[in-house]
């Protein structure tokens, strides 16, 4: 039997391999296996064709980190991305890959404070990840010098061309040295990209990875448009109405992951939080507990969730929407594995509607709008589940000792009260529909016309929203005060890991 290819086989340094192992990365993806050796050992340019979610960032990021000079504090590599979300995602991924190497990485994009970027550039950076518009701003200000560039990466090149950045890209490329390597990654290869390659690239190697969409075909993708303050209530409602809920829930920040895990624990669920502040020992303990079914919900940030391989997840929940289509694909691919089906749920806050459309466009998938069950529907489902479990238990064997005990209890002459007490003792929970206050879908105005700058800032234009104020967190102070007692009861049944 052929041995499985590892990152060590690709020629990466020991410190980089150690960092990958700590992140849970053992075997490279196809795009990584083909691209990394070419970048480490060759000198030709590269055109890579691969779908979103195939591991492209590590494919170009690891060799760049290997080959640039640590501590130089001159821009040696620049990565161009179509949106600020993708630029941020790439920068964060490169940060997680560099290990202990003295390499400074700076994301630059529109909508971010210029003063912060100027200060960082003045202090010196080694890798810049940016959107074309903001990169040009810095070039024209003479605050971004590209004289020492060794690598230029065009990420999601077809999307940048679709969004009208071709002139900007050509302008940027005219400022980089001729003796540099250019890496172009794209899901498709339209004529404009090949023309760009002929104009700015020398001899190049081609890397092509077939699209694998098996995970998406096994995953039902649903979104709920919802106010930020109602997300916790919505998640609580969905957990209570799903027959099985063994889930990975994604939060944008470390603090958000801890807060959400704490709120879910208060609701009676077995939950753990995983993020960058968790030590390796704690990480191993948390994952062992989750994989063993002793915790049924794992709230995690994107970076912390890398390398987690669990085949039996029933749900992936985007409590916070990811910043890029690639991150979305990575997330939902955690469920629907090993021939099983799964469900991916996304909460869309006001202002994220076009971001959702952008994800669907880039990943070429349809995400269906869902309707949250009404409070009475939740109660009806809970009641039916209780009855089904009781009737199912009757079909099983019951020892004589329990028959004897039941006769003694029923002899009190209060059978209905006794059964009601027993159900409440066993299932817990609250059968009052007021425990699930209604959640109103936020209003959304239409007719917003996209432009280049809004696309660059948000990945897709932000729509006008009616009545959308500042986010108040998962459960703001007023919401906590008004919901006293609503979430005090334990869930009516303990969610378990299903085989």
Per-residue pLDDT of the chain in tens (499 residues, 90 and over written 9): 346 888 999 999 999 998 888 877 878 989 999 999 999 998 999 999 876 667 889 999 999 999 999 999 999 999 999 887 788 889 988 998 998 899 999 999 987 789 999 999 999 999 999 999 999 999 999 999 999 999 999 998 888 887 788 899 999 999 999 999 999 998 778 788 888 888 889 899 999 886 554 445 689 999 999 999 999 999 998 998 887 899 999 998 889 999 999 999 998 899 999 987 888 688 889 988 998 889 999 999 886 676 576 778 999 999 999 877 877 887 888 887 666 789 999 999 988 888 898 888 888 888 999 988 887 777 777 777 777 777 777 777 878 887 788 887 788 777 777 777 777 766 666 676 666 666 766 655 443 333 444 334 344 433 333 333 333 333 433 333 333 333 333 443 344 443 3
User: Residue 318: enclosing H or E segment and its boundaries?
Assistant: strand 315-318
Q: How many helices (H) and strands (E) does the chain have?
A: 21, 14
User: What ranges make up the beta strands (E) of 115-157?
Assistant: 127-130, 151-154
Spatial separation of the C-alpha atoms in residues 224 and 95, rounded to whole Å: 32
Helical spans, DSSP H, in 124-154: 132-141
**Looking at residue 244, what is its pLDDT?**
86
**Looking at residue 89, what is its pLDDT?**
80
Assigned token pair, 50: 């691969």
Spatial separation of the C-alpha atoms in residues 88 and 81, rounded to whole Å: 9
Report whether 317 contacts 248 (CB < 8 A): yes
Residue 432: strand, helix, or coil: coil
- Concatenate the DSSP letters of all residues of 203-239 into one string: SEEEEE-----HHHHTEEEEEEE--GGGHHHHHHHHH
As a dihedral over the C-alpha atoms of residue 95, residue 99, residue 102, residue 108, rounded to 10 degrees, the angle is 0
Helical spans, DSSP H, in 1-51: 14-22, 30-41
**Looking at residue 191, what is its pLDDT?**
81
Assigned token pair, 133: 């518009």
Token look-up 């079914």 returns 293
Spatial separation of the C-alpha atoms in residues 228 and 223, rounded to whole Å: 14
| Domains, the chain, ordered by start | 7-208 (3.40.50.300), 214-374+434-438+469-482 (3.40.50.300)
Reference 50, options 71, 25, 31, 63; nearest CA is: 31
Q: Which residues contact 432 (CB under 8 A, 6 or more apart)?
A: 379
Residue 250, CA atoms < 13 Å, CB-side half-sphere: 28
**Looking at residue 229, what is its pLDDT?**
92
**Looking at residue 309, what is its pLDDT?**
66
Residue 128 sits at φ, ψ, to 5 deg, of -110, 130
**To the nearest 5 percent, what fractions of the chain are helix, strand and coil?**
45, 15, 40
The model carries a pTM of 0.54
Helical spans, DSSP H, in 98-178: 114-123, 132-141, 157-162, 166-173
Token look-up 């210029």 returns 114
Question: CB count, 10 Å around CB of 10?
Answer: 21
Reference 431, options 379, 389, 386, 381; nearest CA is: 379
Instruction: Identify the burial level of 58 via C-beta atoms within 10 angstroms of its C-beta, where 0-12 means exposed, 13-18 middle and 19 or more buried.
Output: buried
């Amino acid at each position: 039997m052929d041995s499985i290819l590892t990152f060590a086989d690709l020629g990466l340094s020991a410190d980089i391999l150690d960092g990958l192992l700590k992140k849970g990365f053992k075997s490279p993806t196809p795009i990584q296996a083909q691209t990394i050796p070419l970048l480490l050992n060759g000198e030709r340019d590269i055109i890579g064709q691969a779908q979103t979610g195939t591991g492209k960032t590590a494919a170009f990021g690891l060799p760049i980190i290997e080959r640039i000079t640590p501590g130089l504090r001159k821009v040696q590599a620049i990565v161009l991305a179509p949106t600020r979300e993708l630029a941020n995602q790439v920068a964060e991924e490169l940060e997680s890959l560099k290990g202990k190497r003295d390499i400074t990485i700076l994301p630059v994009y529109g909508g971010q404070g210029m003063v912060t970027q100027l200060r960082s550039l003045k202090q010196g950076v080694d890798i810049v990840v940016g959107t074309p518009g903001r990169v040009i701003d810095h070039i024209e200000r003479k605050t971004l010098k590209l004289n020492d560039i060794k690598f230029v990466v065009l990420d999601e090149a077809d999307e940048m061309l679709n969004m009208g950045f071709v002139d900007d890209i050509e302008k940027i490329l005219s400022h980089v040295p001729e003796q540099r390597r250019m890496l172009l990654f794209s899901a498709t290869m339209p004529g404009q990209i090949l023309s760009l390659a002929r104009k700015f690239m020398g001899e190049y190697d081609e890397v092509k990875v077939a699209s694998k969409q098996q995970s998406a075909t096994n995953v039902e993708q649903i979104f709920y448009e919802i106010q930020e303050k109602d997300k916790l209530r919505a998640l609580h409602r969905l957990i209570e109405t799903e027959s099985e809920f063994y889930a990975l829930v994604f939060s944008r920040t470390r603090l958000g992951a801890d807060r959400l895990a704490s709120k879910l624990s208060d609701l009676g669920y077995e939950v753990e939080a995983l993020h960058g502040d968790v030590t390796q020992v704690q990480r191993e303990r948390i994952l062992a507990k989750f994989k063993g079914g002793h915790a049924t919900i794992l709230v995690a940030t994107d970076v912390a969730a890398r390398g987690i391989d669990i085949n039996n997840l029933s749900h992936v929940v985007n409590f916070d929407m990811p910043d890029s289509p690639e991150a979305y694909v990575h997330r939902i691919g955690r469920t629907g594995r090993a021939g099983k089906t799964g469900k991916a749920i996304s909460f869309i806050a006001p202002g994220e509607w076009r971001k959702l459309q952008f994800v669907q466009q880039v990943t070429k998938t349809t995400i269906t709008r869902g309707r949250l069950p009404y409070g009475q529907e939740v109660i009806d489902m809970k009641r039916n589940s209780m009855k089904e479990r009781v009737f199912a238990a009757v079909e099983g064997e019951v020892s004589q000792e329990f028959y004897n005990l039941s006769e003694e209890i029923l002899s009190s002459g209060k059978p209905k009260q006794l059964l009601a007490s027993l159900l409440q003792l066993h299932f817990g929970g609250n059968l009052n529909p007021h425990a699930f206050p209604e959640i109103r879908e936020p209003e959304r105005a239409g007719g917003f016309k996209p432009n280049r700058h809004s696309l660059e800032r948000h990945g897709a234009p932000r729509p006008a929203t009616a009545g959308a104020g500042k986010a108040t967190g998962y459960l703001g102070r007023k919401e906590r005060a008004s919901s006293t007692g609503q979430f005090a009861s334990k869930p009516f049944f303990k969610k378990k890991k299903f085989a």
